[in-house]
A and B are shown apart, each in its own frame.
Chain A
Amino acid sequence: MLNDKRSTGEAFTPALINMGKTEEDIVLIEADSGSSSGGSVFGESFPEKYYDVGVAEQSLILTAAGFALTGRRVFASSFGSFLVGRAYDQIRSSIAIPALPVRLISTHCGVTVGEDGSAYQMLEDISLMRALPNVTVLVPSDHNSAFRLIQVVGEYERPVYIRLGSFPLPSIYEVSDNDFIPGGGRLIVEGTGVTICACGIMVHEALKAAEILSQQDLSAEVIDCYSIKPLAAQVILASVRRTGCCVVAEEHSCRGGLGEAVASLVSRNYPVPVKFVSIEDRFGQSGAPEELQEYYGLTGTEVVSAAVQAWTMRRR
């Protein structure tokens, strides 16, 4: 594991600038969010490929749809709460239904947004976006995978939603690692005792948990489920067939996120006990990101206790 800590959100601008150099038709649209997402830096390099529509998320999505309909390669970015929350109808009617290739990038999701509190700490975006047919949902766990996924979806001809975070994290993957595609999942620790599925910051907590569990002679298998939809079904099912139990960890509401996606997959194909480490049907609040992570139980320790519980109930 490398030591430099960077957020997934920090991958956004470098990945776009990289594409902007070669791709004539690329466009980034922001809603007064460019200085927060870093998008305005892209705008300085490529002023003719950058637009800011002001504090107007509905207009952001509709403008993006219009650009996509003229064949441009569109990225639209804003804060998760407002991009998904305020403009949900526009996303549904003008991007998801016509299946337009618009890449929606949301920044500042989850409780690790910190001090801005519940209004900005979007915890329902994955469930809302997962519910829309035609939409791919991605939640990268480190800077390098985020960089790669942003580039991959640049070539992707379907609507995509990517959740990026602002919380600095160590790298899990090498810079040269290219093996990230929609529908993929990465088995990053092999084990036989319990399957741990995670996305975003919780992949890091799952790795910590796997370390602790190994000291307790419980061998955990950790899967980075960066593609929430489509889910890496074969990777997850192959794992639960070996382990007979599963934990799902995510910085998201327990309703409709990765947890329920995995539970649904498993119950339809190979039912095993599933335990959840997520946020129990409540909103966030102000605080330091680390404090909030602890307060809402989004920690390696919680993953360990969920893993032990799942293991005692395992399918034999």
Chain B
Amino acid sequence: MIDDKMDKRLQLIAATVRKDVVRMIGLARAGYVASSLSIVDILTVLYWCEMEIFPEDPHCPSRDRFVLGKGHGCPALYAVLAHRGFFGREELWNYCKLGAMLQGNPESGRTPGVDSSSGSCGTAPGIAAGMALSLKREKNPPRVYCLIGDGELQEGSTWESILLAAHFCLDNLVLIVDRNHFQMDGTVESIMSIEPLEAKFSSFGWKVFHSDGHDVISFSDSLLKAGENNNSPSVILSETRLGKGVSFIEEAMNKGNSIILSREKIDLALKEISRAAGKVEGIYNAE
């Protein structure tokens, strides 16, 4: 369980990660800032509270695995991995540059801590299910976490893997849906409706949990319940907002506009994140 103090601490970490995401994307003049910001809190809980990881030994066989389905959110993953010590933070500033360790979509052989390559929509759940199935033969099977965008639920291959995970009772698999309601061309419901999601997953034999993907207590509670679930895979439908933490990005996304991070916009974004973190820090220190 996450207590109040831990809650504040995680919020501060998430703020640090958010700022690096903005800096990376600003420097690279490439990447998807809104999509990255929506998953920062989820990744923070996974990498600081939930997963068993070994940054000094990233290939340790007993580690828990993480597969990022929404490859465009990788700046958030890279910033998290750097802050957890998988590689130096200076690597972040080369993101997307020619020859960089940090590619525009995750590559497993190239980046310590990236457990699987991804980027082609609808591949991550299958890879994660394959990992979970393979690891289930261990005495204490490591757990596999897979984070996908909600638009990815339109891919047929995703549903092949959802079938498979239930058939093989993969209770060491947790699928997290970053339910931000947007995809490239508009809102998910207007482009190709995926609801009712809970009924769909339930009827496929999955245990369904809901959480607020920006509330670390809510999200870690659902992880806890998923951890107690036996004989079936778990999915956590996490409500999130594109661009979370930077109001002008959130607003632009809601209007369906794209964002170009100019120098001024980067400063504005960093200030807003710092201001919000400052408030949390004040409370954190007072306690």
Contacts and interface: CB of A to CB of B under 8 A. Distances in A.
B134 A62 contact: no
B108 A98 contact: yes
What band does the interface of chain A fall in when counting residues whose beta carbon is under 8 Å from B? 20 to 34
Nearest to B156: A58
B130 A89 contact: no
A65 B123 CA distance: 10
The B interface, classified by DSSP as helix, strand, loop or mixed, is helix
Contacts of A48: 137
Contacts of A17: none
A89 B120 contact: yes
Contact of B160 (A58, A67, A71, A94): A58
Given A62-B127, A90-B123, A70 B134 contact: yes
Contacts of B119: 93
A70 B123 contact: no
A313 interface: no
Contacts of B134: 27, 66-67, 70, 72
Interface string B104-126: 00011100000111111011011
A32 B65 CA distance: 28
Interface in A45-84: 48, 51, 53-54, 56, 58-59, 61-67, 69-72
B14 interface: no
Interface centre among B65, B108, B157, B161 (most CB of A within 10 A): B157
Contact of A62 (B65, B123, B156, B163): B123
Contacts of A51: 133, 168
A61 B109 CA distance: 18
Top 8 nearest A-B pairs (CB, nearest first) are A66-B130, A62-B126, A93-B120, A63-B130, A59-B160, A58-B157, A66-B131, A56-B160
Interface string A231-269: 000000000000000000000000000000000000000
Contact of B120 (A27, A56, A59, A90): A90
A93 B108 CA distance: 12
20 contacts: A48-B137, A53-B164, A59-B129, A62-B126, A62-B161, A63-B126, A63-B127, A63-B129, A63-B130, A66-B126, A66-B130, A66-B134, A69-B130, A90-B157, A93-B119, A93-B120, A94-B120, A97-B107, A98-B117, A99-B109
Given A53-B164, A56-B164, A66 B127 contact: yes
Contact of B161 (A59, A89, A98): A59
A255 B107 CA distance: 31
A101 B237 CA distance: 33
B128 interface: yes
Nearest to B117: A98
A95 B163 CA distance: 22
A27 B130 CA distance: 12
A92 B157 CA distance: 15
A58 B158 CA distance: 9
A98 B123 contact: no
Interface in A87-108: 89-90, 92-94, 97-99
B120 A70 contact: no
A64 B123 CA distance: 12
B148 interface: no
B282 interface: no
Given A65-B116, A90-B120, A56 B163 contact: yes
Contacts of A61: 126
B129 A69 contact: no
Contacts of A27: 134
B127 A94 contact: yes
Contacts of A94: 116-118, 120, 123, 126-127
A53 to B, nearest CB: 6
Contacts of A58: 122, 126, 156-157, 160
A259 B135 CA distance: 43
Given A94-B117, A98-B107, A65 B133 contact: no
Contacts of B120: 89-90, 92-94
A62 B122 CA distance: 10
B176 interface: no
Given A62-B161, A99-B109, A93 B117 contact: yes
A61 B157 CA distance: 10
